[in-house]
Every structure is written in structure tokens, then in C-alpha cells.
Amino acid sequence: MDWVYFTEQELACKGTDECDMHSEFMEKLIAVREDYNEPMIITSGYRHLAYNDTIGGAKNSPHLYGRAVDVKVVGGDALELIGAALRHGMTGIGVKQRGDHDRRFIHIDDMPQSDTHPRPWIWSYK
């Protein structure tokens, strides 16, 4: 299934090619994209559990539930993306803005509050 602005291929698990994105998350992601008004390069979308383990992803990563993406973006554009994400109901923001520009990204997710996912929440990556 393709969505406005996003293809199944770009959101699929890099290890299995499966794509099981959550429908409510996708509605919010499309709204974020429209507000941000720039193309969004997705570096990680849905992740199968085995692939998540292989890459050392978080045990209960929102990517496993199809409720997260990592977007390649830097500097002021990253700040604009975070603002759009917050305006459209994203509850988890991860910031990787150090090091090589090609490896910088913003993680956005819409996980609900739980013991394993305190929300709203923001964090930075090493």
C-alpha cells in the first residue's frame, strides 16, 4: 500500500521487506509532511523484531509497532520537523544531530503513554 507522499518500499523493514505501518500513525505522518511542506527522507520505518535485534534497536521500539519513522534532516530543518511533529500529535521525539550530516536524523512516533513508553518524551542519541 502506498500513501500520499510515502511508498510502502521506503517504509518497509530493511531486513525483511515487510511493511506493517499503523494506520493512525500514517494519518499523523501525512499531516506532519503537509505542515512541514518539504520532502521527508525516511531512513527507518517499520522494523521486524528479528531485524530490530540485529541492528541493536530498543527492545520495545515504536518501529516494531509501525508507529515510528526516522527522517534524515539537519539543522533548522530538523527544528521545523519537530515543530510539525508536535503539532500533529507525535509523542516521541528522538534527536540525532551530531556527527556526519548523512547520519543525522529525527525520530518521530505516536506511542501512547504506558509503563514501557512514557509519553510525551524527547531524547537524544549518542
Kindly report the CATH number assigned to the domain that includes residue 67: 3.30.1380.10
Whether residue 62 contacts residue 117, with contact meaning beta carbons closer than 8 Å, is answered with: yes
pLDDT-above-90 percentage for the chain: 98
pTM: 0.96
Any domain includes 18: yes
Reply yes or no on whether the pLDDT at 89 is more than 90. Answer: yes
- 43 is in which domain, residue-wise? 8-124
List, for residues 110-120, the tens digit of each pLDDT value. Answer: 999 999 999 99
Any domain includes 30: yes
Residue 26 to residue 69: CA distance in whole angstroms:
10
Whether residue 107 contacts residue 83, with contact meaning beta carbons closer than 8 Å, is answered with: no
Any domain includes 3: no
Any domain includes 67: yes
Overall number of domains in the chain: 1
Question: What are the φ/ψ torsions at residue 69 (nearest 5 degrees)?
Answer: -140, 155
- The per-residue pLDDT for 2 is 79
List, for residues 7-30, the tens digit of each pLDDT value. Answer: 999 999 999 999 999 999 999 999
Any domain includes 33: yes
